[in-house]
């Protein structure tokens, strides 16, 4: 889109607004926090009842991302082998479930609810990410 090449801040702003709106709608309509790792692990759990909203939310994330990528003509470039990406994604998912939260749950929803625990968790996530980038680069 020419708008996004002319205004490079417009796409991140639109993305942030959509993420905030989606997390607010989930909280306002179902009283649920949009922590993606928690939603995904609960959807995959056989013992959970009432998983329809979880699968709908996860499907909407995937479909919405695919639709916006197609609309914006985003090229698909895998910079790592697919098996490595799958293993890395599974490790991140297990780690976030074991650590009781992820960046979406703490950073988007927790901070919006003024949770001190989420503030600490988000600072730790960000510091760890900066340290890894600094070390690797």
Tell me what pLDDT residue 48 has. 63
Residue 60, pLDDT > 80, answer: yes
Q: What is the mean pLDDT of the chain?
A: 83
CA 91 – CA 95 distance, rounded (Å): 6
Query: Which whole number is the average pLDDT over 20-33?
Result: 86
The confidence band for 3, taking pLDDT boundaries of 50, 70 and 90, is low
Asked if residues 38 and 102 have their Cβ atoms less than 8 Å apart, the reply is yes
CA 133 – CA 102 distance, rounded (Å): 19
Condensed to tens digits (0 to 9), the pLDDT of residues 88-135 reads: 888 888 888 787 777 778 888 888 888 899 899 889 888 998 999 999
Q: What is the model's pTM?
A: 0.70
> Three-state SS across 48-78?
CCCCHHHHHHHHHHHHHHHHHHHHCCCCCCC
Tokens of 98: 């074991």
Condensed to tens digits (0 to 9), the pLDDT of residues 5-20 reads: 667 777 788 888 888 8
Sign of CA dihedral 118, 121, 125, 131: positive
Condensed to tens digits (0 to 9), the pLDDT of residues 100-111 reads: 777 778 888 888
Q: Which residue has 């996530």 as its token pair?
A: 125
Q: What SS3 state is found at 87?
A: helix
């Amino acid at each position: 889109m020419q708008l996004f090449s002319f205004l490079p801040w417009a796409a991140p702003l639109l993305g942030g607004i959509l993420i905030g709106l989606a997390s607010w709608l989930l909280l306002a309509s179902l009283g649920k926090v949009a922590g993606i790792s928690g939603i995904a692990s609960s959807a995959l759990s056989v013992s959970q009842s009432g998983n329809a909203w979880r699968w709908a939310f996860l499907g909407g994330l995937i479909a919405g991302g695919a639709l916006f990528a197609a609309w914006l003509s985003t090229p698909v470039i895998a910079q790592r082998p697919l098996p490595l990406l799958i293993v890395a994604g599974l490790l991140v998912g297990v780690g976030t479930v074991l650590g009781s939260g992820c960046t979406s749950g703490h950073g988007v929803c927790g901070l919006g609810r003024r949770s001190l625990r989420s503030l600490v968790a988000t600072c730790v996530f960000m510091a760890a990410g900066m340290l890894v980038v600094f070390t690797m680069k």
